[in-house]
Structure 1
Amino acid sequence: MSESETDSNQASSDSIESARRKVAEQRGKIDDLDRQLVELLQERRVLVSEIAALKRAGSLPIRDDARERAMHALHAQWAEELELPPTVIEGLFRMVLWSSRNYQAQLRTAVPAGVASRRVAIIGGEGSMGRQFARAFESLGNEVLRADLDTSLRPAEAVADAQVVLFAVPIAQTERIIAELAPLARPDALLTDITSVKAGPVAAMREHGEATVIGTHPLFGPAVNSMQGQRIVLTPAWDADADAREGDPHGWLPWLETSLRAMGLELVRSTPAGHDRAMAIVQVLTHYSTEVLGRSLQRLGVSLEETLRFTSPIYYIDMLMAARHFAQRSELYASIQTQNPNTEQVTAVFREVAEELAGIISAKDGDAFSEVFDEVREFFGEFSPRALDESRYLIDRLVERR
């Protein structure tokens, strides 16, 4: 190596080392700023706790949608003034607001002072959803009795001793367990359940017990980080047009609605039959589609890792949802698919449409494909702009995390 080459290499090495030192210095300044951000978040948390106390005293809800919309608009204005990416600022503050709502829930902000505590029996209380609702009811000041197959407290004893009985058992066994235990409930009690189908369990509770009956279906699973903002369907056993005093002589519906809202849940009212029709789409059809996708990938013998080398964001999201689906208990999904009274109707349409599209694609008929595509686009209508906006947000967050 010549002397000039040696000098050049040394200069290059010195330049790299100098750059590293300067980068380290700047990173130190960034760390200092990040520390200040965390300290400001702690100051914000103190203010949130003070606001939570005021909200509880005034019976105000945790979430104020109008306030949050105004905040997002203000944040977007700040981002524009400072020439910062608005989507990044929006994502940052959405996480801050989510954390704020969750913290307020932990402080029992939404628990009304005047709501009486009850003795709540959770049948299936050692299951994942049973434990989740046991914790939620306990957090509201209720006495919770957990009864399961292996607990010292027997289910029959818990039902007889409780003011509220919640069945949190596998779907396939729900009606049998209700038939066995509902007759033991006090006539002035509340019978409820968290099953993914509603017509059968609600009818069973009405048939076998004398207590008030209100079915529920949490539209989330035990893996969620928080109940805040999650939805739950309520299906009272009495006709919506009938006098509620006949179906609910002891006023259980207001108590249950207040309790669920205090847990941070958003309530959806329906009938048992209306719920099952909706779930045939929301659960049965979507699960069926996911199961067909997963089974097709397995049958094709593809290497998932190899396909992920070529992944688009949408394919990656599809794979996340499919793998999440199959990572859970097959018994749960089997029951959802087989116990819904509308399953055959929706799965038959799925098969018909798959055959229709297969025929069009096989014939290489671009005009027919476009015709079908346009008809479906028209069906989605005004939901499409929202879908583009929200899916873009999801994709951006996912790409940032990978």
Structure 2
Amino acid sequence: MRVAIIGGSGNMGRWLTRFLLKEGREVIITGRNEGKLLEAKRRLGITATTDNIEAVENAQVILISVPIDNFEAVVEQIGPYTRPEQVIIDITSIKASPVAAMHKHIKAGVVLGAHPLFGPGAKDIANRSFVLTPTNDTETALAQRVKKYLETRGARAILMSPNEHDETMAVVLGLSHFIAIVSADTLLSFDRLKQMDVVSGVTFKLLVTLTESVITEDPELYASLQTNLPKLAEIERSFQEKVRTWADLVESKDQPEFAQKMRVLKDKFNKVNPDFSSAYEDMYKLIDTLQKPPPEH
């Protein structure tokens, strides 16, 4: 089976290429940067081209791994060249608009929205999660086959609608990234960050790890997510209001109300998460894992 990865010279595209090669698939990738394509061709021994149509015409499966802002233009370009027997899957982090674009421009072949919930730093797909977003019976049948394929390799696959995915990701990705970026901006406004890290406890170390891991990512991708995820601005306004509420309690030194609000949150977490009581121990296990030295070779 030959798989074409449109946008295969990007970080996630290269990850997918390596994974598929291990699976024994033949891979052709496309990209706009000829230097990156030549490097990928040299390192991985694959076919690489700047011509999306050439790749589409010579593949059974097409994976689209391009920035959300370029997505519809790419789909519009390749749409006339797809065939009924082909499978076309997008792996963008947003689903409603890409899936709608595929339905609009791709008239031959079966399309499916997919979102790998991990980045190119993952070693493989074992214990990783994917969301699949079929919109009709044909796509659902394909999604079930993809789900089985992923699960036999140790991954988790969840099916939901494109809109449900995007509303969920607005919190799971959008809000968590926003908190990390604003926290990084705040931490870096102090001139003693290194000193703080030396004397810090587990909570601070995890916060710094979170902020650093987000800031190392692609700024264009994160800006695109922040501006394209639906209802995210509304969620972030709610977050800002809650920050103001808690900051007011600190400023007014209202210890009883602060403690009471924390107790209310604890009760709510206990109801929604049966394992909530182990969170403190889990935090120490996580930091121990992060601080574990790499194995000697």
**Fold-level match, TM-score > 0.5?**
yes
Q: Look up the match of 1:182.
A: 79
Indicate if the aligned counterparts of 1:162 and 1:185 stay in contact, CA closer than 8 A: no
Please list every run of 5 or more consecutive structure 1 residues that lacks an aligned counterpart in the other structure.
1-117, 239-243
Matched, 1:341 2:233: no
Distance 1:130 1:146 in 2: 8
The one of 241, 260, 274 aligned to 1:371? 260
Q: Secondary structure at the match of 2:49?
A: coil
Please say if 1:208 is aligned against 2:109. no
Counting matched residue pairs gives 276
Q: What SS does the aligned partner of 2:130 have? A: strand
Letter in 1 for 2:235: V
More helix by share: 1
Counterpart mapping for 1:68-147 below 5 A: 118-147=1-30
Give 1:32's aligned residue: none
Counterpart AA for 1:332: L
Query: 1:152 aligns to what?
Result: 49
Letter in structure 2 aligned against 1:302: D
Q: Structure 2 CA distance, aligned partners of 1:386 and 1:193?
A: 37
* Alpha carbons of structure 1 residues 391 and 398: separation in structure 2 relative to 1, 3 Å: same
Is contact 1:313–1:399 with CA below 8 Å preserved after alignment? Answer: no
Q: Matches of 2:291 and 2:64 in 1, distance apart?
A: 40
Alignment of 1:236-275 (within 5 A): 236-238=134-136, 244-245=137-138, 247=139, 252-275=142-165
AA matched with 2:59? A
Residue 174 of structure 1: CA displacement? 1.7
Change (3 A) 1:164 1:398: closer
For the structure 1 residues 384 and 180, does the alpha-carbon distance in structure 2 shift closer, same or farther, using more than 3 Å as the test? same
* Alignment-derived partner of residue 355 in structure 1: 244
Q: CA deviation at 1:254?
A: 4.1
TM-score, normalised with respect to structure 2: 0.86
Task: Please give the alpha-carbon distance, in whole angstroms, between the structure 1 residues aligned to 2:78 and 2:29.
Answer: 14
Residue aligning to 1:323: 212
The runs of at least 4 aligned residues of structure 1 exceeding 6 Å deviation read none
Equivalent residue in structure 2 for 1:397, among 264, 289, 294: 289
User: Which residue of structure 1 aligns with residue 202 of structure 2?
Assistant: 313
* 8 Å CA contact 2:19, 2:124 repeated in 1: no
Which residue of 122, 132, 140 corresponds with 1:224?
122
Unaligned runs of 5+ in 2: 35-47
Matches of 1:120 and 1:400 in 2, distance apart?
38
Aligned to 1:52: none
Kept in 1: contact 2:29–2:49 (CA 8 A): no
Alpha-carbon contact 2:5-2:30 (below 8 Å) kept: yes
SS in 1 for 2:188: helix
Alignment of 1:42-61 (within 5 A): none
Distance in structure 2 (CA, Å) of the matches to 1:332 and 1:281 = 16
* 1:307 Cα offset (Å): 0.8
Contact 2:128 2:155 in 1 (8 A): yes
Give the structure 2 partner of residue 69 of structure 1: none
Q: Deviations over 1:92-127 (max 9, x none)?
A: xxxxxxxxxxxxxxxxxxxxxxxxxx3211001111
For the 8 Å contact 1:213–1:237, the answer to whether it is kept is no
RMSD value over aligned CA atoms?
2.0
| Alpha-carbon separation, structure 2, partners of 1:196 and 1:135 | 20
Q: Structure 1 length as normaliser, TM-score?
A: 0.64
Following superposition, the deviation at residue 271 of structure 1 comes to: 1.0
Matches within 5 A, 1:26-37: none
Q: Is the 8 A contact 1:206 1:237 kept in 2?
A: no
CA drift at 1:317: 1.5
- Please give the alpha-carbon distance, in whole angstroms, between the structure 2 residues aligned to 1:400 and 1:145: 38
- Which amino acid letter does the alignment assign opposite residue 296 of structure 1? T
